[in-house]
A = this chain, B = another copy of it.
Amino acid sequence: MAAPDALPRADARDKAVGAEIYSADHTPLDCLWAGAKRAGVAHAAITGLHIEAARAVPGVVAVLTRADVPGTNRQGIVHKDQPVLAGSRVRHCGDAVALVLAENRAALAEALGRIRLDLTPLPGVFDPLAALLPDAPLVHPDHPGGNCLARGLVEKGDATAALETCAVVVADTFFTPMQDHVFLELPNGTARRTAQGGIDMVVSTQAPFRDRFEIAHALGLDPMRIRVRAPYLGGGFGGKDGATVQCLLALAALNADGRWVKMVWDREETFLAGYKRHAARVALRLGAQHDGSLLALDAVMHFDAGPYAHLSGEIMALALEHAAGPYRIPHTRLQGFCAYTNNPVGGAFRGFGVVQASFAIERLMDALARRLGRDPAGLRRQNALRRGESNGAGVAMAEEAGAGECLDRIMAHPVWTGRQAWKAAAPPLTRRGVGLAVALNAMGYGRGLPDAAACKLELTRQGTFRIFNSVPDMGQGNAGAFVQMAARVLNQPPEAFALVQPDTRRCLPAGSSSASRTTYTFGNALLGACRAMAAKLAARAALALLCDDPARLCLQPGAVADPATGRAVPLARIGAMLIRDDRICVDQYVMPVVANPPDTGREFKLGFPHRFFSHGACLCAVEVDELTGLVRLADCVTAVACGTVLSVQGVEQQMHGAAAQGVGLTLFEDMALDQGRIRAGDLSTYLIPTALDLPDLECLIVADHEPTGPLGLRGMGEVGIHGPGPAVAQALADATGLVVRRLPIGPEDVLTALGEKQS
């Protein structure tokens, strides 16, 4: 057998040859097509909805409106405030107001085009700070908090007083933009009503087990009669954590007479109606002593939730928890506000609030370094949290390696050690600069919200194994990691394992594929099931081998062997002898939480604080064209401490993908939002980095071991996204003197800075 970390991904071959069947590939013969009519207006009262012309289109089967929704018509993961179909009011351009079922896509498009809305425009609110002013137009007039969806406060020590005593205080305000996930596979699914009145659905989703409850609540169904299957996703990044097509599709299925219905959003509808990373405003004041020791941080963060809650409050909470970055700061006062606006709906996105927090604290660390005349790397190293020290929320770091160790690794890299020579060798009309940043990212749902997974493992009659995966693989490779883990624990070749992708009827419940929790939590459940399987196999083999000490037996590829006698019994023989119930092993895992949580975040009932973190650092070298202001990323080196690495390839791919998405946020992606309307709402105007825009990405793995982790690992799918923003900003400051407070950084920002420097 190949060494586990040299194994190819379990999904590689089928994806490479195009054999993998994604949700989007499920198109049952003779299925109906469903589509939603979108409002197209940011804030308005609906005074009329004319669907007769649409109904008259040949091939149209049904045109449904709010009145056709049988349940509460409300969806939302925590607060259920988002209508499946808007009735009297439109709160953002992407609101669905009608649902059409047609025999084909042409009829569907024709009918959607014929639906007419009578709208009375209402004044909108498009900025989270403005939304919280007393006279702001209300997005939900009946919401008791007005436009304030959520607020939070984390306090450790006395930051206000401590800031008074600091030798140096720096303050600034930072802005990060809305960001689209731009997953390759668009939101889609197929569904049909079952004979028992339930729903059978195949959908591109990160949370199939939760989807049942979303659909059931919105449409008044029994969640146990809803079956959701989640094949491999063509990307998710948080954008499929929460209902996209689910409720609309189920509503369509209820009206399709038992026929399959398919719904696919196109890219433009996805921009319009999909979730986005929250735009945020982060105002920080950071105080230090003369020697550079950080003493106090005051933070005020505003998040733009858009019109519906989704996970806004939870994202704000995680941002507060990470506001102090990976630094030792004795006094913190961290305030957060989530405001309803008429912008697109804010939701989960890789980094989940931490991106916004990280960018701000890292930029301000650069400002502090400047003020103190210190080198930004040294100042970071001096203040980096060590094991046992308390982070900004008062939780002690438990990891073996942290941001400091990651920083050490990138500071030893030639891109850093050779930076002066490289800069000096810049060609004419070119400026060069090098910058770095550090970050940490929590793993899991946090305290109060059980981060759980259950796993089913089957020994087949043929003596092979079937892993019933419960957490979708959106491309991050968790499914392949599961095969690797099981193969290692059961000492079988990877070919001995088949993967059943999430299916609420066949697989066991687990939380979402999100929060860097997927491989950790389900992996631990899987290992439990593997250990139960190993014990079962030994006990059953003991009978065939006449061995009275099953603990002596060991698993070999395809067999259980007795080292004492040299005899072995094939797994196929055991599999053939057991009834089905005896060929199944089940186990579950709930992620441990902070045992004695500090009294820092009293306003949070759920999801605060976190016990586990992965840590990272990022080193970027940039080249600036003095004539055009264009920035070329010349090098991007990341380091990560995430426990024992199971698959080097898997970690590198996550770090590369996260870095690329971070570079997109930093230098490319701009939705050009204008009064709630996305002006750059397609891929010809909303630009994401391609392979040609990126250097060869390099990832350094820092030695670490997570004692609670499956085979010693922690989740690390998010920590890599935080580095490029602040590292590129620092590199640009190094190259041009530009002080970046707002992302993305455009050529005009660079040209302006060059002009200022020259003048």
Contacts and interface: CB of A to CB of B under 8 A. Distances in A.
Given A447-B548, A450-B546, A584-B584, A579 B505 contact: yes
A590 B542 contact: yes
Interface stretch (A46-54, A383-391, A451-459): A451-459
Contacts of A589: 539
Interface string A522-553: 00000000001001100110110011111000
Nearest to A545: B450
A490 to B, nearest CB: 17
Contact of A542 (B450, B548, B581, B582): B450
A509 B509 CA distance: 29
Nearest to A595: B549
21 contacts: A445-B548, A448-B546, A450-B539, A450-B542, A450-B543, A450-B547, A450-B550, A456-B581, A504-B579, A508-B582, A509-B540, A509-B543, A540-B588, A542-B590, A548-B590, A548-B591, A581-B584, A582-B586, A584-B584, A584-B586, A585-B586
Interface residues of A, number: 42
A593 interface: yes
A576 interface: yes
Contacts of A56: none
Given A450-B546, A451-B548, A506 B579 contact: yes
A632 to B, nearest CB: 46
B452 A542 contact: yes
A11 B304 CA distance: 66
B539 A452 contact: yes
10 nearest A-B pairs in the assembled complex, by CB-CB distance: A539-B588, A450-B542, A548-B593, A450-B548, A508-B582, A550-B590, A581-B584, A450-B543, A456-B581, A448-B548
Contacts of A549: 590, 593
A368 B645 CA distance: 73
A130 interface: no
A447 B552 CA distance: 14
Interface in A446-491: 447-452, 454, 456
A62 B496 CA distance: 49
Nearest to A456: B581
A224 interface: yes
Contacts of A224: 576-577
A133 interface: no
Given A548-B449, A593-B548, A539 B584 contact: no
A447 B502 CA distance: 45
A414 B537 CA distance: 54
Contacts of A588: 535-536, 539-540
A171 interface: no
Contacts of A606: 546
A578 B504 CA distance: 10
A575 to B, nearest CB: 11
Interface string A552-577: 00000000000000000000000011
Nearest to A591: B548
A385 B576 CA distance: 47
Contacts of A578: 508-509
A221 to B, nearest CB: 14
A579 B509 CA distance: 9
Contacts of A456: 581-582
A445 B546 CA distance: 11
Nearest to A505: B579
Contact of A454 (B445, B447, B448, B539): B539
Contact of A449 (B454, B546, B576): B546
Given A550-B590, A593-B549, A454 B584 contact: no
A223 to B, nearest CB: 8
Interface in A296-347: none
B586 A536 contact: yes
A226 to B, nearest CB: 12
Nearest to A582: B508
A532 B588 CA distance: 10
A547 B448 CA distance: 6
A505 B452 CA distance: 33
A424 B413 CA distance: 105
A131 to B, nearest CB: 30
Contacts of A450: 539, 542-543, 546-548, 550
A452 B452 CA distance: 33
Most buried by B among A504, A506, A508: A508
Interface string A131-174: 00000000000000000000000000000000000000000000
Interface in A238-274: none
A579 B448 contact: no
Contacts of A540: 454, 509, 588
Nearest to A468: B581
